[in-house]
Structure 1
């Protein structure tokens, strides 16, 4: 019996998947720019003479107290708006594994392994650093550096104008989506202190109604917002972080053969997530006051800040790169002939750009108003910036090679709009 052929890691996928990923990344790139602007405005305002107004705005409470929904604007952005972000992430993850190229376990293995490696290594490094610095009371923040912010990463790619090939863009997107799922699992399991099972059980009723409404010929689809909101309220009341409701709602959306229902909802809600939900959350979450809190060097050298920076820059790189190497080493897989390990190294550095989920976990781990939360925010900002700079250097060095790959992919478009290379070459099995 002849040996099985080698499978190529980070190889070109199918044209429908490449085209879909391209549409997603264009939306997320715009959202990433808005995210950066919102974060910079918040950081500037929080360190200006008018910083008190920023903190007053963040702490303004709105909502009905009877339902435990008298939340601050900052809490509404984290609990409410980010539920939209996680709804889109849940949709994307389900589509990837049910109707996308990753329904084949062999193609899904690499991004899943890379995401797991990119979660374990940063967590271990964070724990090691805070322990070595004698800050054992800060171990609760071990999950802060586990996630990759796809919008932030894509904004950097847009700034440095890199011609990242389709395979690497797809890998980056999938890695970030799986990271988000792992992050929300951590949020739901680790950072739930007071669990109330009755509201959580009751949340399954509107969740089922939402799913049923999408699977029938229900004419007034907009009314499905009612069970969706009811699910969110009950999950919030249960003590589980309300963003978990977004993932659950995304998971119950039917993905039929061509993913019609999921595709329509994703097309409708992704711009809301990328253009509104995430930037508003970034505005309220990134406003850490650094000036006037003491010597800057001492502020930057706190155990939590140092641990987050090292975990994002070193931990993510080691985790993603190491998991990719291990996948190649212990399976019959080889790196695609178009790419080299420098490309994987650059992408691994880019994965160190944690932001949205990292900021959320920091608030859950230490609590709003805790000085360690501000130290974590500073570490997230600095670590993400350093990862972006290093990734930018590596990817720009390889940019000429990327341009050649992209040109090959885009040549000879037929009337059907599909590059010939996707019709003459089959994706790796």
Structure 2
């Protein structure tokens, strides 16, 4: 007779190594997210203030690059196809790490974020399709509201000061990683035009060489960076979106440690490249993508045009329905149950936060409506508005639970024995209890000494005014 399977708690406390990785990763993403917010605001001001005299458009459409190599691109094009390759390279490393050492390694643990992410992409696409099928709009933008921008979401958390416990932050990060994976697949499958098979073959050969060098443990940035640039250029000229090259190279890096290694090559490279991605590449992309004309009439048109209304409702409503519904169904029809420290209101708030779609949504909007500049700008405005509404809704919901989050975060950080390891990870360790008993004994002895000194002062008539401890 087989033993009954125990229930699994999801959104429970992370292991210490996983918590350390999540904290380090999200710290960089939070800083990058704040820069992303600044870049987006700067783009809107630059594009809409008459004093700048249309310079935003002039700079965005200024062309540079070697035409003979098919790379005579506008500044905005370089930002979207070039700089975002760095962002997707980091996303590839994150995905590889999650697959070999993170939550996605265990199929049971991976089921929840994968189902939540898939539902969180399917529901916005269905909402967009329903709005446009009924309103006679274009179905080309169905993928625009499917993406979640983790950096922007974390920037909102940084601004409102909510101390989310590490389990919720890890869930948000894993959601974004899976979200990025399927966004990459959407771009590769649905937004690839006519193929140049010679260039594609060259890109594949370059990726094979990249993989071979990694397997041979060849080191040196001067080997890999030029090769990566060549692979990117070939991928761009092949007709496949150039960011796919970044993802492919990120997935090839080894993310497991060997004997004598403190960190895997993937973690080391991610540590070096993530600040470049979060602090430079993504904000610069935002600067040259978020600059759309905004006016009261234009914002009103967002709610009257099916394409833009579908994007807004997809981000605000679709994400909540998809992520919350997928999570609840997983808990309802499996043996998983919610952590005792959290409530379903927390999952709902996190689902609303995931409605912030910025970087990838703007990119897909450009690809979906390529050739229609006016509609592209309107869809970008819808992405900005939908993300703003989601951010405001999430802020209200998270603020309502902020006191609870603060208590959980403080409990995770408490380290009374000052050994560098939070106490919650040591409570089953007998040595921890011996150290805590010794600390309590020292404190009790100190209190007894102070009490004796006070009693002696009173007996001698000196009181507490002579500077002795009181």
TM-score normalized by structure 1?
A: 0.95
1:325 corresponds in structure 2 to 328
1: CA distance between counterparts of 2:419 and 2:90? 29
Of residues 107, 115, 118, the one that matches 1:116 is: 118
Q: How does 1:98-177 map to 2 (within 5 A)?
A: 98-135=100-137, 138-177=138-177
2:354 corresponds in structure 1 to 351
Cα deviation, residue 347, structure 1:
0.2
1:224 aligns with 2:243: no
Structure 2 contact 302–309 (Cα < 8 Å) conserved: no
2:415 corresponds in structure 1 to 412
Query: What are the Cα deviations for residues 224-252 of structure 1, in whole angstroms up to 9, with x where unaligned?
Result: 11211111111111101000101001011
Structure 1 contact 290–299 (Cα < 8 Å) conserved: no
Of residues 279, 286, 289, the one that matches 2:283 is: 279
2: CA distance between counterparts of 1:295 and 1:5? 55
2:452 corresponds in structure 1 to none
Cα deviation, residue 299, structure 1:
5.0
State the secondary structure of the residue aligned to 1:131.
helix
Structure 2 contact 163–409 (Cα < 8 Å) conserved: yes
Between 1:232-241 and 1:196-205, the stretch displaced more is 196-205
Query: What are the Cα deviations for residues 267-307 of structure 1, in whole angstroms up to 9, with x where unaligned?
Result: 00000000000000000000111349x66523552222211
Structure 1 contact 89–180 (Cα < 8 Å) conserved: yes
State the secondary structure of the residue aligned to 2:337.
strand
1: CA distance between counterparts of 2:132 and 2:412? 46
Between 1:343-352 and 1:49-58, the stretch displaced more is 49-58
1:269 aligns with 2:273: yes
1: CA distance between counterparts of 2:112 and 2:53? 45
1:337 corresponds in structure 2 to 340
Query: What are the Cα deviations for residues 131-151 of structure 1, in whole angstroms up to 9, with x where unaligned?
Result: 22221xx21100001111001
1:239 corresponds in structure 2 to 239
Structure scoring higher RCO (CA < 8 A, sep ≥ 6) equals: 1
Structure 1 contact 13–101 (Cα < 8 Å) conserved: no
1:119–1:101 Cα change, 3 Å? closer
Query: What are the Cα deviations for residues 358-414 of structure 1, in whole angstroms up to 9, with x where unaligned?
Result: 000000000165221111111110100000000011111001111111111111255
Between 1:187-196 and 1:101-110, the stretch displaced more is 101-110
Say how many residue pairs are matched: 423
Cα deviation, residue 309, structure 1:
0.7
Structure 1 contact 129–303 (Cα < 8 Å) conserved: yes
Cα deviation, residue 196, structure 1:
2.3
Structure 1 contact 45–51 (Cα < 8 Å) conserved: no
1:296–1:158 Cα change, 3 Å? closer
Of residues 312, 318, 322, the one that matches 2:315 is: 312
Query: What are the Cα deviations for residues 89-130 of structure 1, in whole angstroms up to 9, with x where unaligned?
Result: 000010011022431111111111111000000000001111
1:289 aligns with 2:293: yes
State the secondary structure of the residue aligned to 1:203.
helix
State the secondary structure of the residue aligned to 2:148.
coil
Cα deviation, residue 423, structure 1:
3.4
Gaps of at least 5 residues in structure 1 are none
Cα deviation, residue 421, structure 1:
1.5
Between 1:224-233 and 1:296-305, the stretch displaced more is 296-305
1:414–1:102 Cα change, 3 Å? farther
2:32 corresponds in structure 1 to 31
1:195 corresponds in structure 2 to 195
2: CA distance between counterparts of 1:231 and 1:125? 37
1:273–1:425 Cα change, 3 Å? farther
State the secondary structure of the residue aligned to 1:334.
strand
1:43 corresponds in structure 2 to 44
| Stretches of 4+ aligned residues off by more than 4 angstroms | 413-416
1: CA distance between counterparts of 2:60 and 2:428? 53
1:12 corresponds in structure 2 to 13
